Chains A and B, each alone.
Chain A
Amino acid sequence: MRGQLRASLALLVLMTVLTGILYPLAIWGIGQSFFPYQAEGSLIVANGKVIGSDLIGQNFAGDTYFHSRPSAAGNGYDATQSGGSNLATGSDDLIKQVKERIQAIRATGFTGGIPVDAVTGSGSGLDPDISVANARLQAQHVAQSRHMDVGVINNLIAENTRERDWHVFGETRINVLQLNRALDNLANH
């Protein structure tokens, strides 16, 4: 028993040094040397200021921007409180929320079928993406608010559509923050 205790303690200390300290440090070193952008969180910097992360969704409330999906992270896109709504498909809360979201979309004058990602929250509450159908749904409203031609907006959507990785993995999607940045860039020219 005493032998076992000694061996266990010694092995635990050695393993802690190896897997708990040296291993994360080595990965940190590799990250800082070869992938510094990703290692710090894929941060987007404009005019010397961090305006967000390419991977983390943010809240857009105004009419002149494309909106992200609904979010259950904190008060919405709180990147210190990730998480989903965890509401069951049949729960009254979820039904009520979805109805409100549908109403808000209809209020913008959209009459077509509403893609499901526009009225449901993601698992992380930080989903940076929307579907192509969701972006098209918002195009007319954004164009009107910006006094722009909807054709230009649709071109922008096409340019900012990210194909499946290696044309196979995951889904076709649009990064909302990047799309909205492209909108702003267009307006500044």
Chain B
Amino acid sequence: MSEFDIYQLLLFVFILAVVMIPLGYYMARIFQGERVWLSPLVRPAERAFYALSGIKADGQMNWRGYLLAAVVFNLVGMLFLMLILMFQDLLPLNPQHFAGTPWHLAFNVAVSFMTNTNWQSYAGESTLSPLSQMVGLTVQNFMSSATGLAVAVAVIRSFTQRENPNLGNFYVDVTRVTLYVKLPLAIIFAVFLLWQGVPQTFNTSVTATTLEGAQQTIAVGPVASQIAIKMLGSNGGGYFNANGAHPFENPTGLSDFVQLVSILLLPISFVVTFGFMIRDKRQAWALLVSMTLMFVIGFVICYVAEANGSHVLDALGVDQHISNANIGGNLEGKEVRFGIMNSTLWATATSATSNGSVNSMFDSYTALGGLVPLFNLLLGEVIYGGVGCGLYGIIIYALITVFIAGLMVGRTPEYLGKKIEAKEVKWAIVAQLLYPVTVLGGGMLALILPDSVSSLSASGPHGLTQMLYAYASAAANNGSAFGGLSANTLYQNVALGIVMLVGRFGVIVPILAIAGSLASKKIIPVSNGTFPTHGGMFVVLLTAVILMFGGLTYFPVIALGPIAEHLSQLSQSVM
């Protein structure tokens, strides 16, 4: 690791640590309906929104109402997006005359963007018109991340409500987070990206005559506005096929660094918001420490594996040693301007959160380097996680942890002053089991059905990893891929679409049911018998529960995929 790599890492940690507390506090005030410094500017627009849409801003919803609102709002958005995609040929702003997409692709894309997955089985620059990208995709980028945050806030409120089933108002939460948090941040960020070289134009292509006299057609478009929210909202759906590796999405080392920060910015800050809202910051620190621990372990493994480079290339005599003049490492699928450091840090961050954007191609990672993003997905994206969904994901793990701790000492478990009883634990288990069932079940079907197997581009262990990654990515609503899989087929579009829906609502329904039940309970004062959920003991237990769940559930398939691939390459290079 060069000195510059260390400076970049230190700056990365420093900036996030400095920003998360004020931003976390700011978001807490937003969700508690308080005035912030943007209020004089934004408040009139917010009022106009409620007036025009007939939303009663003070109307409270219980968990069923909140869930219904979230489902209806998301379904309406999904149908709207499907229509735009299928009929983009009839709509304006389609200068390249792209045809409407087939229904199964439209279904896949609409589910994908509505569920904050942003899995992309199509190539953006050769499939979608600027109108589809802007009015279709960008809107769902905003709405899906706002939905995740809203649900998470409802869950947080359930811990502070005293025998009161109300969880807030879904529409108000979505509106406020969009107007006060997402949009202002996205504007600042988009302007920064413009400055760095991300285009924002209504031209769609430019033809250049190269120095050697050939013609090069260069796809451009309104990119900056979409990339800004794609990074901030844990969305990850890029304008171009190559996503964050494309120089127009991510032109410089500086733009890469700032985008890296923006992947983790809201997920980390939101844990701080959680601490402020439950008025117990120690609880938030405990979650953050546990998350950070797993993040660091993953990053180190990924960095070392990729920096050591590929055994195969070593054997061919290629120089993979990292120095100032030589980028080095396993560079297939990686950009020169990012090198190993920025590629692996991105890979860890994008899979730990549910971002899913990539600035290097995982399919070409070493077996162990590629295992890290895969494992992060399989844990269910709780290492900071997506905006909102990461927090409610880890709260489910926390409930299971206190339940197990309670079993060990023979007491009714409590979390944040609420008794955790059979009902909550059952729902938590439902959420926890649905995920591996969808990943492994969906992945297994996909490996059996001939229609599906033909999508694989690799055979043997690497092929298994490709397929497993696709289903894990869809179920975890991540969206990154081992890109060798041809996913734009009828089978994969429909199957992965269904998996994404189960992955999203299979967690939202149980966690809101838990929230509804907790909100109606008393808050019990802390006593000597309360198991503290902020100390080192809890951090260790929580981390162990997460790793055991993930590790034990998926060990067999990981052994057959990445680990088998790694071992077979080791033995090859020995021979």
Contacts and interface: CB of A to CB of B under 8 A. Distances in A.
Given A58-B211, A81-B126, A83-B242, A27 B200 contact: yes
Interface stretch (B216-224, B416-424, B431-439): B216-224
Contacts of A39: 194, 199-201, 224
A70 to B, nearest CB: 9
Contact of A94 (B123, B190, B332): B332
A186 interface: no
A116 B245 CA distance: 18
Contacts, number: 389
Interface in B91-142: 123, 125-126, 134-136, 138-139, 142
Nearest to B142: A19
Given A18-B183, A27-B225, A114 B216 contact: no
A111 B289 CA distance: 50
Interface string A53-78: 11111111110010001000100011
Interface stretch (B268-276, B361-369, B499-507): B361-369
B555 interface: no
Contact of B205 (A4, A26, A80): A80
A155 interface: no
Contact of B334 (A30, A122, A128): A122
Contacts of B207: 50
A121 B329 CA distance: 13
A102 B240 contact: no
Most A Cβ at <10 Å: residue of B199, B201, B316: B199
Contact of B245 (A14, A91, A113, A124): A124
Given A5-B72, A31-B224, A55 B8 contact: no
A153 interface: no
Given A39-B199, A88-B565, A132 B257 contact: no
B211 A180 contact: yes
A10 B329 CA distance: 52
B394 interface: no
Interface in B200-251: 200-203, 205-212, 214, 216-220, 222, 224-226, 228-229, 240-242, 245-248, 251
A171 interface: yes
Given A52-B208, A87-B332, A90-B569, A116 B327 contact: yes
Contacts of B126: 80-81
A169 B5 CA distance: 8
Interface string B3-38: 010011001000000000000000000000000000
Given A126-B242, A171-B253, A10 B53 contact: yes
Given A79-B219, A86-B363, A136-B325, A28 B202 contact: yes
B330 interface: yes
B569 A89 contact: yes
A82 B325 contact: no
B429 to A, nearest CB: 29
B324 interface: yes
Contacts of B222: 24, 27-28
B1 interface: no
B253 A170 contact: yes
A26 B188 CA distance: 11
Contact of B317 (A5, A35, A102): A102
B220 A55 contact: no
A87 B363 CA distance: 6
B199 A41 contact: yes
Contact of B216 (A52, A62, A95, A133): A52
Interface stretch (B159-167, B277-285, B305-313): B305-313
Given A12-B76, A23-B138, A114-B317, A132 B69 contact: no
Given A26-B187, A115-B326, A116-B318, A12 B195 contact: no
Contacts of B73: 4, 7-8, 11-12
Contacts of B228: 27
B53 A14 contact: yes
Interface stretch (B336-344, B375-383, B472-480, B512-520): B336-344
Contacts of B310: 89-90
A89 B200 contact: no
A106 to B, nearest CB: 10
B52 A14 contact: yes
Contacts of A38: 194-199
Nearest to A22: B183
A184 B209 contact: no
Most B Cβ at <10 Å: residue of A65, A120, A170: A170
B361 A84 contact: yes
Interface string B60-80: 000000001100110011001
A140 interface: no
Nearest to A120: B332
A170 B256 contact: yes
Given A4-B72, A23-B183, A53 B218 contact: yes
A152 interface: no
A122 B358 CA distance: 13
Given A19-B183, A172-B324, 20 more contacts: A7-B73, A8-B171, A10-B52, A23-B183, A27-B222, A58-B208, A88-B364, A94-B312, A114-B319, A115-B318, A120-B331, A122-B333, A122-B336, A123-B334, A123-B361, A124-B335, A126-B247, A128-B247, A166-B254, A169-B254
30 contacts: A1-B68, A1-B72, A4-B72, A12-B77, A15-B143, A24-B222, A24-B226, A31-B224, A49-B209, A50-B209, A55-B197, A59-B214, A80-B218, A81-B123, A81-B241, A84-B333, A85-B333, A88-B458, A89-B312, A89-B364, A90-B310, A90-B572, A98-B313, A113-B317, A113-B318, A122-B333, A124-B247, A131-B325, A132-B324, A170-B337
Interface of B: 4, 7-8, 11, 49, 52-55, 68-69, 72-73, 76-77, 80, 123, 125-126, 134-136, 138-139, 142-143, 171, 174-175, 178, 183, 186-187, 190-191, 194-203, 205-212, 214, 216-220, 222, 224-226, 228-229, 240-242, 245-248, 251-254, 256-257, 309-313, 316-320, 323-339, 342, 358-361, 363-367, 457-458, 462, 482-484, 565, 568-569, 572
Interface of A: 1, 4-12, 14-16, 18-21, 23-24, 26-28, 30-31, 34-35, 38-43, 49-62, 65, 69, 73, 77-91, 94-95, 98-99, 102, 113-117, 119-133, 136, 164-166, 168-173, 177, 180-181, 184
